[in-house]
Amino acid sequence: MPGNADATGSRVTLHVVSSLDGFIARKDNSVSWLDDSGSVYEAGVSVSEEEAATFVKGIDCYVLGSRTYEHALELGWPYGDTPTVVVTGREWPQARENVEFYSGDLSRLVDEKLAPQFRNIWLVGGAMLCQRFLELGLVDEIRLTIAPILLGDGLRLFGGSLMEERWDLKNVAAYKNGFVELSYAASS
């Protein structure tokens, strides 16, 4: 059964933003389309900066692949001082105090290293690392945000060989900027 919502109460949430046609980055890796503001969806909700900040404060730890890490350093670090684990097989200079590098078994990362310390663990990409987490059944919740754009080409979300598996829809939120967030829990 997928998921790691164990006795510690720790949960892994996979969060990514996808285009309508299922890409999470353009072919050249750019993600500037995430910031594009299209037309306003009047019935959508808007989130104030304070609300967004409060929400982000509830995240105890971020996990990301090394390519997402490189990109985040280039674009402007979005994870603040929250503890962040970068999964990589390479050696990296210590660019930020709150970043730790991890190489090895991903189930051990979650079960032995993260779950005992953190409750609300967010896996934020990229495609390769999300795919591995899903294959290993380490994800409790998928929060998929759909951006109102067709990219035509790029880095495919979940492009590999996942097994068929049903997930339960838990929430849908449509925002004024035309983005829609779908939240799914691993089916029990």
Ligand X SMILES: NC(=O)c1ccc[n+]([C@@H]2O[C@H](COP(=O)([O-])OP(=O)(O)OC[C@H]3O[C@@H](n4cnc5c(N)ncnc54)[C@H](OP(=O)(O)O)[C@@H]3O)[C@@H](O)[C@H]2O)c1
What does the binding site for ligand X look like in residue numbers (CB under 6 A)?
16-17, 24-25, 29, 31, 64-68, 71, 87-90, 103, 106, 124-129, 132, 155
Q: How far is the CB of 5 from ligand X (least distance, A)?
A: 21
Choice between 17 and 61, CB closer to ligand X:
17
Compute the Cα dihedral for 154, 178, 165, 122 and give only its sign: positive
Burial of 150 (0-12, 13-18, 19+ CB in 10 A): exposed
Distance CA 46, CA 177 (A): 8
**The amino acid at 30:** S
Q: How far is the CB of 142 from ligand X (least distance, A)?
A: 12
Choice between 10 and 66, CB closer to ligand X:
66
Q: How far is the CB of 177 from ligand X (least distance, A)?
A: 15
Distance CA 128, CA 68 (A): 10
Choice between 9 and 93, CB closer to ligand X:
93
Q: How far is the CB of 125 from ligand X (least distance, A)?
A: 2
CA dihedral 67, 69, 74, 77 (to 10 degrees): 160
Choice between 21 and 187, CB closer to ligand X:
21
